[in-house]
Amino acid sequence: MKKIKPVSCICFVIFCSSFYIDARAGDSIGDTIIPGYSQRNLLRNIDSKGDADVLLWRNKLDSKELPPGMTVDLDFLALDSPKLRDNGNPYGCIKVGRPLDSLENNVFIYVDKISRSPESGYGVFADYPSNFICKPDSREIDRLLANRIASERQSRIELLESERLSKLAPGQCDGKQMYGYVSTALDAGNGVLNVANNEAYGGGAVGLALTSSTMGIYNSAVVNMREHDLSLARSGCKSLSGGPTQAMLKSFKEIDFKIRRLVGSQYNQPGVITNGFGGVK
């Protein structure tokens, strides 16, 4: 019995060690084990659920379009995988051992769940060969993550916009640009009227309003609206998708009427040598 006991202990330790290594490695790179790699080195948490959703939205979208029986790892997203070199390599990687007989020689930076529980948050991880030590600069990881989040946000916006335009009915055109022109005219027009009606400016309020830079913005928006409207009509458009609402157009008509009345009151009166709007008598 005394000879058998140490052997049993050794077997137990080996079994436990094997389980520990496999459990760690099995969580790496989308559950793929890379021989000779240090597995799942957590660099930072992704604290915002919104950021995680933005990063992984394409995975969830792609999973809906796969043939039956195929799956996508919704929790995994590769961020970067540059080759490792002895000098000048990214992410602070330093060679500490002999080269490995391996097909892989990259450092993998990726997003994954921190654990496999359904409630787990997400983090940024690094995997690299065990003959390297990598200590990525936290600022570099933050920059990489911020750039990818911005890129994925823009991609999602463009896809949604493309889907919206693809659903336009015959004779219907994109009204997003016209919406912008009307919105700008409303903001600038209200600014002009606010100055014109401000008693603090006294009798010069109307003149100040009509010669202000805000009036210039208003005029520019109105010109753009007219030119774009004619262009849409020449293209055969009968209606707009995502264009200005009826409430916006009603507000614009009211503002435009008030501004035209201000212009008339300011410039339609005769002077000593001129008639209305500057024509010489």
Using one digit for the tens of pLDDT, what is the confidence trace for 207-245?
999 999 999 999 999 999 999 999 999 989 999 988 999
- My answer on whether 264 and 190 are in the same domain is yes
Sign for the CA dihedral angle at 99, 104, 105, 108 comes to negative
**What is the model's pLDDT at position 101?**
65
Query: What is the reported pLDDT for 103?
Result: 57
Co-location of 227 and 102 in the same domain:
no
What is the C-alpha radius of gyration for the chain, rounded to an integer number of angstroms?
33
The 10 Å Cβ neighbour count of residue 241 is 15
Nearest residue to 44 (alpha-carbon basis) of 167, 144, 129:
144
Task: Give the range of the structural domain holding residue 73, as residue numbers without chain letter.
Answer: 29-165
Domain limit, last residue, from 165, 195, 212: 165
Most confident of 52-61, 91-100, 148-157: 148-157
CA distance 73 to 59: 7
Beta bridge partner(s), residue 132: 95
Last residue of a domain, one of 165, 199, 231: 165
Q: Please say if the pLDDT value at position 34 is more than 80.
A: no
Half-sphere exposure of 15 (CA within 13 A, CB side): 6
Supply the DSSP symbol for 74.
T
User: Do 53 and 96 share a structural domain?
Assistant: yes
Q: Rounded CA gap, 9 and 13, in Å?
A: 6
Residue 58 lies in a domain: yes
Q: Which two tokens stand for residue 214?
A: 């805000």
Q: Give the integer Cα–Cα distance in Å for 25 and 29.
A: 9
Reference 114, options 27, 21, 185; nearest CA is: 27
Rama region for 278: left / alpha / beta (φ>0; ψ in -120 to 50; rest): left
* Residue from 30, 216, 9 nearest 111 by CA: 30
Q: With cut-offs at 50, 70 and 90, classify the pLDDT of residue 1.
A: very low
Contact 121, 66 (CB under 8 A): no
Element holding 267 (H helix, E strand) = helix 246-267
* Same structural domain, 262 and 179: yes
Question: 23 is written with which tokens?
Answer: 């459990």
- Is pTM beyond 0.85? Reply is no
Cα angle value 70/66/60 (rounded, 5°):
100
In this predicted structure, what is the pLDDT of residue 278? 67
Do 161 and 35 have their domain in common? yes
Residue 180 belongs to some domain of the structure: yes
pLDDT higher than threshold 60 for residue 21: no
**What distance in Å separates the CA atoms of residue 163 and residue 170, rounded to the nearest whole number?**
15
In a domain, residue 234? The reply is: yes
Strands 132-134 and 77-80, how do they pair?
unpaired
Distance of alpha carbon 135 from alpha carbon 141, whole angstroms? 11
Which letter does DSSP use for residue 142 in this model? H
Centre a 10 Å sphere on the Cβ of residue 256 and count the other Cβ atoms it contains: 15
Q: 77 with 186, same domain?
A: no
SS3 112: strand
Q: Which of 6-15, 92-101, 118-127, 150-159 has the lowest mean pLDDT?
A: 6-15
Say whether both 45 and 109 belong to one domain.
yes
| Residue 188 within a domain | yes
Q: How many domains does the chain have?
A: 2
pLDDT of residue 159: 87
> Does residue 226 sit in the same domain as residue 138?
no
Domain end (from 147, 165, 183): 165
